Chain A
């Protein structure tokens, strides 16, 4: 999503761009990366447009400023909406991708998109994610022609970043407001509050939408530490790839036995894992087949 693709005249002048994120902390909903770019010669005018860090603005003010920046022909913008399902899936992959890496990839994606449109980016301002210097090096190596400024609180220091934060925040709020739950169970509602772990509405929503088997609706970021206490009261799920959360470190590499799936009523413990395969023919080992003698 972003401003239309016909390249404005000013885009062939040296341009600056700001990148910022909204919804990094919340336990639910998408994380949105936004960028805003304009000709360097427009920077002064931009400063007079009263863009400020989106967090310091009221919702109506943000909506108004977003409408203004969309209408402004001297400004371009784009957003990348990262679905909570994607966030969970990436952070819970067998080879886990952490949130910083996902954030970096999103920012890199936005820079790539704007450059591919033909905008002459010379300077890009980004808020710090992880180690400032490492992030700057990563971006600079990826885009040698662009000067990167990576700074803490970039959203309050640079108007282009403030503008980007408004685009991101408004987009996230809208996405959440218009969210259609995947789940079709009755008794689900959308009063999830801000999504921040400390928000009482969010807490109440999580408590109400907890499911003994499925955990939560897919709006929730399952990889968030906030979810962990809720998972203590529901059915435990063991994955083959669980290796570093300690809960199954001793047998994580081994396949779980069929009896663990509740198929048999054997007296053997449900936690029992597959035999180590000693003496079993290779043909059966490779196919995870085992003779069942007690059932």
Chain B
């Protein structure tokens, strides 16, 4: 299996206030092959539909002629959304650092909610994006210390199955 590489994220900015992009982060159901600044708010005008779908307040917008239906969801408690950028090290410094730890990232902005959009279909709790948050609860449980009584009840349950 691919071992991957290591990197470091610097969560602190030197004295500067981190830009808060809450309400401005959109996840579109397409890939836009463009990186760079863009006058988004002049062109992208989401409007509330006034309808709720599975507990989600829905919004509508269009992009490149497609109708998008979306919902704004908070980043779960205890988590934050970040816009990361790779920190460019000056060349002399970088050459001194071995390949393994030259992977430095810094925070360009943060956000507390994100609006995700579907092409044509109403937002639903079954959307993969919302379901991906399930991982947070699973990960938490997996990493919690196991108490003696948990082991007892788990083995009891296992015996019942057998």
Contact = CB atoms under 8 A, between A and B. Distances in A.
B62 A185 contact: no
Interface string A220-249: 111100000000000111111100000000
Given A283-B138, A287-B135, A237 B86 contact: no
Given A185-B39, A215-B65, 8 more contacts: A89-B62, A212-B38, A213-B32, A240-B29, A260-B33, A263-B84, A283-B135, A288-B129
B86 A265 contact: yes
Contact of A240 (B3, B4, B30, B32): B30
Contacts of B103: 295
Interface string B118-142: 0110000000110110110010000
Given A235-B32, A287-B135, A185 B43 contact: yes
Interface string B9-33: 0000000000000000000011111
B149 interface: no
Contact of A222 (B5, B64, B84): B64
Interface string B63-106: 11111000000000000000010100000000000000001000
Contact of A223 (B34, B40, B45, B65): B65
A100 B4 CA distance: 53
A244 B44 CA distance: 27
Interface string A162-188: 000000000000000000001111000
B44 A214 contact: yes
Nearest to B64: A215
Contacts of B41: 184
Q: How large is the interface on B (under 10, 10 to 19, 20 to 34, 35 or more residues)?
A: 35 or more
Interface of A: 85, 88-89, 91-94, 182-185, 211-215, 217-218, 220-223, 235-241, 256, 260-263, 265, 270, 283-284, 286-289, 291-295
Contacts of B3: 293
Given A94-B120, A287-B135, A293-B4, A238 B63 contact: no
B162 interface: no
Contacts, number: 112
Nearest to A242: B30
Contacts of A284: 135
Given A182-B45, A241-B119, A270 B5 contact: no
A287 B103 CA distance: 28
Contacts of A292: 4
Nearest to B4: A293
A26 B65 CA distance: 15
B159 interface: no
B42 A183 contact: yes
A218 B62 contact: yes
Nearest to A93: B120
B139 to A, nearest CB: 11
Contact of B33 (A183, A236, A289): A236
B48 interface: no
Given A262-B35, A293-B4, A295-B5, A288 B132 contact: yes
Contacts of A184: 41-42
